[in-house]
């Protein structure tokens, strides 16, 4: 198992390096320098600014210097918020986004998982059709549509829940978490249903029934593990999707998280912020992918054995 983790970690390093390199040069390639738009900047001031951000150096030196900074965990200063570093901005936004993402993932896994398993137990009956129809709606109703609709119904017409903010008024975390999580809940429901149906048709389920085990034990002891491996493997991609989804949800609900910073940085052409956040988020996503891969492999004894010591 350790060899497996080690080899996967080694694979992750070039990916992260590639992300850094591509992002760095893409951002540098962007037409127009960051200070071009502000008129009436004195040439001397501009030169001073460019020196401060190391823009006067040849690009390869900028790149190596940036890598050096990264190695020390330093993401550089922000263009747009003078005096504040990208590290500080991420540190301010991350806890909010992490909390939002955590609740959304909780919604997705718990509701989606239960609905999917439940539906798989009685395929092609009402018990299957109802949750699966709901899942279909969830998949076809993107967060940027669902969010405003939820706000309209529960926030404005019914006036049950607050429509914006994060941690200011009790209950203001409910709508964002549902908005962000529901699409993934729907996907996980479909995934776990398919996985369970596949497993329930296996011969070893018939063996378990022939032993006289009650149906709930057949499901929990014999089917659940194999049926949910696809769901665990999906957690990595789901995490990446949730991060991207937080861009929209944080914008809709005006939540001061990383996603909103990122979108704002994109519009302000705050290149160091974009660069820093991209590198940070990408690393996070790569690591999370790794984690869900390892977890899924660990759940399968065959794979576990394949990679050495048990």
User: Could you tell me the smallest distance in angstroms from the CB atom of residue 60 to other proteins?
Assistant: 19
Beta carbon nearer to other proteins, 173 or 190: 190
**What is the SS3 assignment for 6-63?**
HHHHHHHHHHHHHHHHHHHHHHHHCCCCCCCCCCCCCHHHHHHHHHHCCCCCCHHHHH
Beta carbon nearer to other proteins, 30 or 47: 30
For 170, the token pair is 């009790």
User: Could you tell me the smallest distance in angstroms from the CB atom of residue 269 to other proteins?
Assistant: 7
Count of other CB atoms within 10 angstroms of residue 139: 16
Backbone angles phi, psi at 253, to 5 degrees: -95, 10
HSE, CB side, 13 Å, CA atoms: give it for residue 156.
7
Q: Are 92 and 280 in contact (CB under 8 A)?
A: no
Q: Are 117 and 98 in contact (CB under 8 A)?
A: no
Beta carbon nearer to other proteins, 177 or 252: 252
d(CA 47, CA 132): 61
Interhelix angle for 143-150 vs 224-252, to 10°? 70
Q: In a 3-state reduction of DSSP, which class is residue 85?
A: strand
User: Could you tell me the smallest distance in angstroms from the CB atom of residue 278 to other proteins?
Assistant: 6
User: Could you tell me the smallest distance in angstroms from the CB atom of residue 44 to other proteins?
Assistant: 29
Beta carbon nearer to other proteins, 36 or 47: 36
Beta carbon nearer to other proteins, 230 or 256: 230
Q: Are 105 and 239 in contact (CB under 8 A)?
A: yes
User: Could you tell me the smallest distance in angstroms from the CB atom of residue 45 to other proteins?
Assistant: 25
Beta carbon nearer to other proteins, 26 or 48: 26
User: Could you tell me the smallest distance in angstroms from the CB atom of residue 177 to other proteins?
Assistant: 19
């Amino acid at each position: 198992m350790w060899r497996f983790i080690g080899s996967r970690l080694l694979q992750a390093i070039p990916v992260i390096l590639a992300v850094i390199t591509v992002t760095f040069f893409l951002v540098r390639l962007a037409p127009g320098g960051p200070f071009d738009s502000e008129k009436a900047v004195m040439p001397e001031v501009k030169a001073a600014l460019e020196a401060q951000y190391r823009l006067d150096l040849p690009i390869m030196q900028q790149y190596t210097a940036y890598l050096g900074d990264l190695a020390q965990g330093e993401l550089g200063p922000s263009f747009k918020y003078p005096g504040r570093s990208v590290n500080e901005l991420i540190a301010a936004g991350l806890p909010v986004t992490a909390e939002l993402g955590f609740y959304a993932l909780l919604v997705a896994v718990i509701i989606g998982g239960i609905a999917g398993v439940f539906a798989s137990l009685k395929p092609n009956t009402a018990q299957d059709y109802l949750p699966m129809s709901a899942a279909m709606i969830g998949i076809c109703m993107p967060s940027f549509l669902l969010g405003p609709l939820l706000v309209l119904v529960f926030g404005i017409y019914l006036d049950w829940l607050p429509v914006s903010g994060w941690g200011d008024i009790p209950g203001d975390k409910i709508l964002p978490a549902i908005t962000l999580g529901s699409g993934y809940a729907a996907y996980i429901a479909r995934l776990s249903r398919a996985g369970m149906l596949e497993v329930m048709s296996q011969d070893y389920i018939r063996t378990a029934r022939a032993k006289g085990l009650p149906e709930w034990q057949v499901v929990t002891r014999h089917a659940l593990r194999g049926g949910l491996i696809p769901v665990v493997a999906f957690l990595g991609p789901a995490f990446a999707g949730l991060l991207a989804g937080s861009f929209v949800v944080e914008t809709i609900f005006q939540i001061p998280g990383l996603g909103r910073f990122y979108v704002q940085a994109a519009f302000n052409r705050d290149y160091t912020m974009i660069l820093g956040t991209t590198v940070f988020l990408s690393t996070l996503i790569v690591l999370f992918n790794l984690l869900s891969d390892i977890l899924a492999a660990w759940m399968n004894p065959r794979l576990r054995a394949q990679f050495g010591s048990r």
